[in-house]
Amino acid sequence: MIGRLNHVALVVPDLAKAAMAYRQHLGAAVSQPLALPEHGVTVVFIELPNTKIELLEPLGEDSMIKRFLEKNPSGGMHHICYEVDDIIAVRDKLKAGGARVLGDDNPKIGAHGKPVLFLHPKDFFGTLIELEQA
Ligand code: CO
C-alpha cells in the first residue's frame, strides 16, 4: 500500500541555526525558509538523492508543533511521510483495520500542495505517519 518515502520532518528550535548546520557540517543542499502560515510552520527543505528532509519551526501562537518543542526542547523527529496512490482507498482500508486518522478523516492539502492524512502515532509504534497522495 505505501510507496516511496517522501520526507522525514524534524522539528527544530532555531531554523536558521539548523539550516546552517545541515549546509555547513553535513554539506546538504538546503532551501530558503518558506513560511506556511496555514500549517503553522516555517519550513526548510533539504534535498537528498533519495528523499527529502524538512526542518520545521513553529510559526504563530497556535502552531501544532509548539507543544512538541515544549516536550522536546532540543527538537526531534516529528513525522515520516509515505507516498500512496489513492489516499481515500488507503484511508478506508486503514480505518476498516482499526487505525485512527487524525482530524476529521478528510485529506487536507499539505505543504506540497497534495492531499495528506496523518495517522495516530499510538497505532504505529510511537511514530506519527503522514500519507501523501503522490
Ligand atoms: Co510532512
pLDDT by residue (tens digit) across 10-26?
Answer: 999 999 999 999 999 99
pTM of the model: 0.93
Domain that holds residue 7: 2-133
Would you state the pLDDT for residue 76?
Answer: 98
Catalytic residue of the set 54, 57, 130, 132 = 130
Cα of 9 vs centre of ligand 1, distance in Å, is 6
Q: Are 108 and 59 in contact (CB under 8 A)?
A: no
Q: Is the pLDDT confidence value at 128 over 90? A: yes
* Distance between CA atoms of residues 19 and 38, nearest Å: 22
Cα of 108 vs centre of ligand 1, distance in Å, is 12
Cα of 45 vs centre of ligand 1, distance in Å, is 11
pLDDT in tens, 42-61: 999 999 999 999 999 999 98
Question: Catalytic residue at 130?
Answer: yes
Cα of 84 vs centre of ligand 1, distance in Å, is 14
Number of structural domains the chain divides into: 1
- CATH code at position 96: 3.10.180.10
Q: Which residue, 42, 74, 73, is CA-closest to 56?
A: 42
* Distance between CA atoms of residues 30 and 49, nearest Å: 13
